[in-house]
Each structure stands twice: as structure tokens, then as C-alpha cells.
Structure 1
């Protein structure tokens, strides 16, 4: 069992537990097939079982775990089909977001995006992969805010949990952060020019990366994947 984790008393407990367990599964701290015990998780977070049960339900909705009545809750293998479908939906949403952002980006927006890129560069230089992974998400979230459509990012966030497991595993050698940062800069430069077609193509090249990554990662960790 992972070490005890303190929660923020000002935020909903079930949501915090969900986010932490989601992070742990995505970052391979809890591998496929691992049973999740309501009792053990409630001890870890020092809470009752009810918010843990609610967090498990949310994890099941995102495809990260399977709840088997009378048998327990288990971390799912990575579904190739789910990753591919998630990639398709994410690309459709984020390319539309990027084109809209290109027409709406202000100097303030561009400054905030550039700061995120600078932070990504620092994370790479310090070999802080977890920080880069988080900053990558923040860059995409900020694009949705530039486009004045937070719902777009919330939708993407809800469908990409399984995809994120592949993204995380690919960082070390399949899709290195240096390459991803370069792609982010391509998106940023097109935004600066308010080039809707340019930013659309840059976003397509960037998001298409995951479609290639899954083939290589699956070959390395076949027992972690299912074709379903």
C-alpha cells in the first residue's frame, strides 16, 4: 500500500482521492491487475469508506478500474481500442480549440503560454518528468481558456485517463519531452501569427504522436495491454 496521504479539508474528499489515485495509476505506481481495497485506501487517506467508494466509481467511469461485485476493484489493463478512440475524440476537440484560440489570443494569453513553455524547458533541463507531464496538460488547458471554452478541456480531461498512461510511459524514450516541447513551440508560434491553418496542422502533428507511441509501448509491455 502507498504511504498515507493528507487531504485538503477545504476540498471535496472524494474528488481529491479520485485525482490522487488517477495520478498514481497513470504514472504506473499502481500497475494493471492491482486490486484496490476500500479499506486500505480509506486508511491511506484517513477517511471513511464512502468517499473512497465514490472515487472508485469515478475511476471506473474513466476506464482505469473495473468494479466486480462481490469480488473487488482492480486496475484495468490499458485498452488499445479505448486509447485510439480517445485520441480521435481529443484531436477533434483540441484542433477546433486551437483554431479558435488563434483568432482570440491576446498578448496576455501569449505571455502566459510562453511562461508555461519556459517552465517546461526548466523541467526538461532538470530531468523532472513528472513536472513536465503536468505542465504539458497545463499548456493544453490554457489553450482552451484562450479559446474561452473551459468545457472543451474538461471533456478532454474526462476521456484521456487511459491515454495518459501511454503518454506517461512514452516520455523516457518513445516521445521524449524535448520533442514534445518543440511541438508546443510550433503551436505557440502559429498562435502568435494568428494562423488558424498553421495552428491546426501543428496540433494535428502533436496529438498524432500518441497514436504512434501506443504501438511501441504495447510491444514493450504486452502484459499491460488488451486489444478490447
Structure 2
């Protein structure tokens, strides 16, 4: 797993971070330094450093006399990230509407087609990657690609929820919501584009309670 370039601890952290976000390591699961070191093919020291960093970001927690465990998904953090995303991305979509070009519409249409294909294949990882690419493309088109990088750093807990919901719920609703955003842009209707974006980013308010009821052990307030 470890390659040249970034430090060993950084690579172990990135590997574990991705597994936690994708739900491969479920909330509440115990983390063993020895097992992780063996899986990664490294010593225990970089694993220990990765655990410390995961704990600092809220993705792991240390329980005295028991060990390190995958942290539960913070409902508060999910709702906060959603609120910030809506405030920022509703402004971004207006900026895009004011400076729209055909090349962007073509690119967004291609991304929608790719999302449909990923959904048909039931490829959850590809679908989430394409979802992020759609929003990143809009941020870049607005001239604020760096803003998306900031948002990405705030939404770890939301991303964990997204991987769960993408396995449970039909992707079609999200694709339709993306399509409504693109259609409003195509029509030059900034108000409709903003409304469509807000509606899309509020979908988590419907999904979160249902998932929390079915998997209460995964969540914390």
C-alpha cells in the first residue's frame, strides 16, 4: 500500500480515511494497530500516528482501557456541513448563471449521462465521485474552485452519510435534481437554478432521519 512520496503515516491516514468515508470501516468498529499495520505492510508507529490524526478529525475516538474505535457519524456535523454548502453553493450557481457558456453545459450534460450509467451499474463509488465532480465543476465555472476545496474539508461526516444513503436509496432522485439545476442554467433562469440547488442540498434532511432510525448505533448527536 505504501509508495514513495508522502510520509508513511500520511499514506496510512489517507487509506484509513477513505475506508471510513466509504463505510468499509463501520462506526463503532475497533481499530487494532497490529492488524492495520499488517494489512498496510508497515510498522505500528505510522499507524499510531494515523490513529491520532483520525481522532483529531473526529473520525476515530479513544476509549480509556478499551482502545481506538471508529467514531460515530455526528448528526450535528452533517447538518452544519449541509447548511454551509447550501449557503455557498446557492451563491456559486448564481455566478455560474451570469457567466454561462455552451462548453460548460456540454460538460454538465456529459456528467449527467455518466451518473446515469454509474447508477445503472450500481457503482456507488463511481456515482459519488461523479456527484462531487458535478459540484466541483460548478465551483470552478464560478471562478471559485478553491471554495470547493474548503467545503471538501468540512464535509467528512456528510460524506460518510452519503455512502450509506447511496447504497440504500435510489440515485434517480439525485440525478433528476442535478438535471433540474442544469435545465435552469440552460434556460438562463438564475432564480430557478438557485432554488434547484437548495432543494438538492436539502435532500439530506429527508435521508438522515430515516437512516438514523434504521442504524441508530452509527450516529451521535
Q: Please, which runs of 5 or more residues in structure 1 have no aligned partner?
A: 1-5
**Alignment partners' CA distance in 2, 1:84 and 1:102:** 27
Normalising by structure 2, report the TM-score: 0.87
Q: Please, which runs of 5 or more residues in structure 2 have no aligned partner?
A: none
Secondary structure in 2 matching 1:148: coil
Report the equivalent of 2:92.
97
Q: Tell me how far 1:72 sits from its aligned partner.
A: 4.0
1:75-154 equivalence runs, <5 A = 75-154=70-149
Secondary structure in 1 matching 2:26: coil
Normalising by structure 1, report the TM-score: 0.85
Q: Which moved more, 1:210-219 or 1:89-98?
A: 89-98
Q: CA RMSD in A?
A: 2.3
Query: Does 1:205 pair with 2:210?
Result: no
Report the equivalent of 2:210.
216
**Alignment partners' CA distance in 2, 1:195 and 1:51:** 52
| 1:13 and 1:51 in contact (8 A); partners too | yes
Report the equivalent of 1:3.
none
Report the equivalent of 1:168.
163
Q: Which moved more, 1:53-62 or 1:177-186?
A: 53-62
Match of 1:185 among 179, 185, 191: 179
**Alignment partners' CA distance in 2, 1:191 and 1:89:** 22
**Alignment partners' CA distance in 1, 2:197 and 2:177:** 8
Aligned residues between the structures: 221
